[in-house]
Amino acid sequence: MKTAFVAALAIVAGHAGLAPAPVLAVDTDLARNLAATCANCHGTNGRSLGGMETLAGVDKDRLLAKLREFRSGAKPATIMHQISKGYSEAQLELIAVWFAAQK
């Protein structure tokens, strides 16, 4: 498994950092909407029904640190390294703040 992770990380590392999307202030529900793209796996509003980590109520800085580690490849993952690269730093921050606020 370890070698499998390393191989996958090596492939995507070459593309890292190409995905900054501008965050405009037009969508006042942007944080909620972005966070909802995680819910298929992590549960509605980040409340997992099992087998995936719950994100609701997790400290914002902890969430952001993990997401940054996924993006940089520092944290081994099966899929989060690939998904987290689809969001800009600013979007991830919005998402982390939103999940942290869910009780």
Partner 1 sequence: MGPCDRRTFLRVAGATGALAALYGCGTASRKASGHVVVVGGGYGGATAAKYLRMWSEGRVDVTLVERNARFVSCPISNLVIVGEKTLADITLGYDGLKRHGVTVVHNEAVAIDADKRSVRLADGDTLRYDRLVLSPGIDFIYDNLPGLADAAAPETVLHAWKAGPQTVALRKQLETMPDGGTYAICIPRSPYRCPPGPYERASLVAWYFRQHKPKSRVLILDANEEVVSKKALFMKVWADAYQGIVEYRPQSELRDVDVAKRTAILEFDRVRAHVLNVVPPQRAGQIAQRAGLINVNQRWCAIDWLSMESTAVKGIHVLGDATFPAPTMPKSGHIANQQGKLAAAAIVNLLAGQPPSDQPLAVNTCYSFVDNRNVIHVASVHAYDAATGTLQPVKGAGGVSASPNEVEGRFALAWAKNIWGDMLC
Angle, alpha carbons 96-88-86 (nearest 5°): 95
State the binding partner of 95 from ligand HEC, partner 1, none, CB within 5 to 8 A by kind: ligand HEC
Q: Which residues bind partner 1 (CB under 8 A)?
A: 1, 4-5, 7-8, 11-12, 15-19, 21, 23-24, 26-30, 32-34, 36-44, 47-52, 78-79, 82-83, 85-87, 91
Q: Which of 90, 70, 93, 87 is nearest to 9 (CA)?
A: 70
Work out which of 6, 20, 37, 59 binds ligand HEC, going by CB under 6 A: 37
Q: How many helices (H) and strands (E) does the chain have?
A: 6, 0
Work out which of 63, 73, 85, 94 binds ligand HEC, going by CB under 6 A: 63
79 is a site residue for ligand HEC (CB under 6 A): yes
Question: 16 and 73 in contact (C-beta within 8 Å)?
Answer: yes
State the binding partner of 51 from partner 1, ligand HEC, none, CB within 5 to 8 A by kind: partner 1
Instruction: For residues 21 and 48, give the distance between their C-alpha atoms in angstroms, rounded to a whole number.
Output: 27
